[in-house]
Amino acid sequence: MSGQIMDGKAIGAAIRAEVAEGAAALKAKGLRAPGLAAVLVGENPASKVYVSSKVKACAEAGLFSEKVELPATATTEEVLKVVRHLNERQDIDGILVQLPLPKQVDEGAVLRAIDPSKDVDGFHPVSVGNLVLDQGGFEPCTPAGIMELLKRCGVDLKGKRAVVVGRSHIVGKPMALMLLREHATVTICHSRTQDLPGVCREADVLVAAMGKPAFITHDFIKPGAVVVDVGINRVTDLAEAERFFGGDPERMKQVREKGSTLVGDVLPTAMWEKASLYTPVPGGVGPLTIAMLLSNTLKSAQLRMG
């Protein structure tokens, strides 16, 4: 069996085009562009890259965006002051605080301070409660993007067995709730799950989100399953790359020339050989996360402007 790729890049681009249409429709009515504020605390290189890509995506979709940068030494109160100010601003529809925050900043207090009507990341307790109770509101962007991907790739979830590996607040838990809402029978697995490969092999839809490079191997995947790989891990070792990618010349070249390549939480050869549909890494789930952030910001603007 040779699995088909679920192209997150193409589907993410389609969602972004829909957001651009929505933003243009607001402007055509003489209204302002939707506005997103990104708060970045400290000098984390990965966080800087993520925030820059979000700001760039906003510009491409016709959204207004603003980056608020604070030093790594910022206190909880200093971050809260910024969030409160953004809550008051009429030109800002969405607020995202880039995680992780420096150790001295109380992450929970900061997320709780965001106005739920501007919580486009979907991390506020009110947003989480709305998701649990199925009452609308904003949903975390990565699992929401995965649901869009499955829908647009024609995956029918009704009555299917879905297994989510990983129980984070950002992906694992909300993912399970969204699958449940679409009438899948859902199991959440984690580091204490007994016979993890056996449980995973029961899945018609397998979502891997635990941050362990190529941890899910052939033994975990039921033939013909749909596999969604949320992990992004950097591989720098040539022997490891050879093992993960079955000697794929393109990947081996990346490691030799650039010093690294990316692998998800699923062994790529296992997905290629056993899944009916799967997400590549990169180019699978990643582009959908930003697309859904823009979609949430547009939705917030539409609600706020009536």
Q: Say whether 54 is catalytic.
A: yes
Contacts of 284 by beta carbon, 8 Å cutoff, 6+ apart: 5, 6, 8, 228, 229, 264, 278
| 286-304 vs 141-152: helix crossing angle, rounded to 10 | 100
Map residue 237 onto helix, strand or coil. coil
Would 30-116 and 141-286 be classified into the same CATH topology? yes
Residues 28-54: tens digit of each pLDDT: 999 999 999 999 999 999 899 999 999
121 noted as active-site residue = yes
What's residue 1's pLDDT?
Answer: 55
SS3 content of the chain, % helix, strand, coil (to 5): 45, 15, 40
Q: How far apart are CA 152 and CA 14, in angstroms?
A: 10
Reported as a single tens digit per residue, the pLDDT across 288-300 is 999 999 999 999 9
- Residue listed under structure tokens 């739920």: 116
Tell me what pLDDT residue 3 has: 87
263, pLDDT greater than 90: yes
- Which CATH entry fits the domain spanning 30-116: 1.20.200.10, 3.20.20.150, 3.40.640.10, 3.40.50.10860? 3.40.50.10860
pLDDT band at 271 (very low <50, low <70, confident <90, very high): very high
Q: What percent of the chain has pLDDT over 90?
A: 96
104 tagged catalytic: no
The model's pTM = 0.95
Please name which of 218, 256, 224, 225 lies closest in space to residue 239, comparing C-alpha atoms: 256
Over residues 70-116, the pLDDT tens digits come to 999 999 999 999 999 999 999 999 999 999 999 999 999 999 999 99
pLDDT for residue 47: 92
pLDDT value at 268 more than 90: yes
Residue range 141-286, CATH number = 3.40.50.720
Which of the residues 54, 222, 274, 299 is marked catalytic?
Answer: 54
How far, in whole angstroms, is CA 109 from its chain's centroid? Answer: 22
User: Domain residues of the chain, as ranges?
Assistant: 30-116, 141-286
> Does pLDDT of 213 surpass 70?
yes
Catalytic one among 7, 93, 98, 222? Answer: 98
| Marked catalytic residue, from 7, 93, 119, 121 | 121
Q: Quick one: average pLDDT of 211-228?
A: 97
- Report pLDDT for 246: 87
Give the Cα separation of 300 and 168 in Å (integer): 25
> To which residue do tokens 């070249």 refer?
253
